[in-house]
Amino acid sequence: MRLGLALGYWGRGPDPGHVALAQEAERLGYHSVWTAESWGSDAFTPLTWIAARTSTIRLGTAVAQMAARSPAATAMHALTLDHLSGGRMLLGLGLSGPQVVEGWYGRPFPKSPLTATREYVDVVRQVLRRRAPVEVDGRFHPLPYRGPDGMGLGRPLKSITHPLRAGLPVLLGAEGPKNVAQTARIADGWLPLYWSPSRPEVYGDVVREFPDGFLVAPMARVKVCDDVTEGLLPVKAMLGFYIGGMGHAARNFHADLMARMGYAEQARRIQELFLAGRREEAVLAVPDAFADEISLVGPRERIAERLELWRKGPVTDLLALSPDPHTLRVLAELTS
């Protein structure tokens, strides 16, 4: 099981320690470093900044939001950074949810998300392969565009720039069983948001046998500390925000996943509290047991013991959400 460093997205501003943290992860032998985006900082610019200051660590987006760019534009970002970094790019994509897609990007959330994802990946693959001009007779991402509001003058194009790697890895963030099953068919890897090594069945039967070479790279908060309860507070804060605020009360994929993991009543309560403006209470309503099973928190010996569960499953890459150099070093020692 390889290690990755997950930096997430910026809050109020850039974290001045991210480059140094990525450099330390590279020195410790981490395989990859990952950035993200929500509705603030983008995923590709910070990753390019890190690429210029490292030399071997792989560079991943976990995730770049599909609604933020057309698939051709995303492929351009990926092939450009792959060239500049010497072939270190890992393209992680996610569909996000209706509130973000419609509220931030001003686009309709696709009524057939599986089809929209499949078309998006198809365009990216065609751009990267550069075998022929890109053509997709699609419902969501048609190329060339033939809609009634167009001029009808578009023609299929092939990238001017020759991609460094036709097989640049494409990974997808997916939560529902059907989405995960499709991910195994059309992508090179999967980025689970919440992974519990004791409950893989919540993602469907496909987790029992992924294709050869398929990457399974969940993110997990990792913290070496003496007090487990205190160490879990950042995990609970994240869960409270995602389950309570990253979606509508009637359509929240994160809350749905928590419910499938056996915490349906608690998920509803977190949503109720968060949407009522009682955010601190929403965080405290996150069960410690749930936060604990999707993270690695506690003394070194406890983390070492729990790591064995992660190694037994399909996980190929553990992406550690940890801004703490000491924790990164301990994790590297435990997995070496």
User: Dihedrals φ, ψ of 213, to 5°?
Assistant: 80, 0
Q: Are strands 215-216 and 170-172 parallel, antiparallel or unpaired?
A: unpaired
Q: Residue 193 — very low, low, confident or very high, per pLDDT cuts 50/70/90?
A: confident
Distance CA 311, CA 1 (A): 7
DSSP 3-state of 310: helix
Are residues 130 and 76 in contact, defined by beta-carbon separation less than 8 angstroms?
no
pLDDT 10s digits, 148-175: 999 999 999 999 999 999 999 999 999 8
Chain mean pLDDT for the chain: 95
Helices (H), the chain: 18-27, 44-51, 71-85, 98-103, 113-129, 177-186, 228-231, 233-245, 253-258, 264-275, 279-284, 288-293, 300-312, 325-335
DSSP 3-state of 79: helix
CA distances from 163 to 75, 81, 84, 130 (A): 9, 10, 11, 8
Average pLDDT over residues 64-84: 98
Give residue 258's identity as a one-letter amino acid code.
M
Model confidence at 250: pLDDT above 90: no
> Residues 45-57, buried b or exposed e (16+ Cβ, 10 A)?
ebbbebbeebeeb
The separation between the first and the last C-alpha atoms of the chain, rounded to the nearest angstrom, is 9
Instruction: State residue 210's pLDDT score.
Output: 95
Residue 180 CA, distance from chain mean position: 13
Q: What is the pTM of this model?
A: 0.94
When computed from its CA atoms, the radius of gyration of the chain, rounded to whole angstroms, is: 20
The label of the residue with tokens 């099973």 reads: 293
- CB contact set of 250 (below 8 Å; sequence gap of 6+): none
Give residue 320's identity as a one-letter amino acid code.
A
Question: What size, in residues, is the chain?
Answer: 336
Q: Residue 254 — very low, low, confident or very high, per pLDDT cuts 50/70/90?
A: confident
Which of 78-92, 109-123, 158-172, 254-268 has the lowest average pLDDT? 254-268
Average pLDDT over residues 263-288: 92
Q: Residues of the chain with pLDDT > 70: what percent? A: 98
DSSP 3-state of 92: strand
Instruction: State residue 175's pLDDT score.
Output: 87
Average pLDDT over residues 137-153: 96
Instruction: State residue 320's pLDDT score.
Output: 98
Are residues 54 and 24 in contact, defined by beta-carbon separation less than 8 angstroms?
no
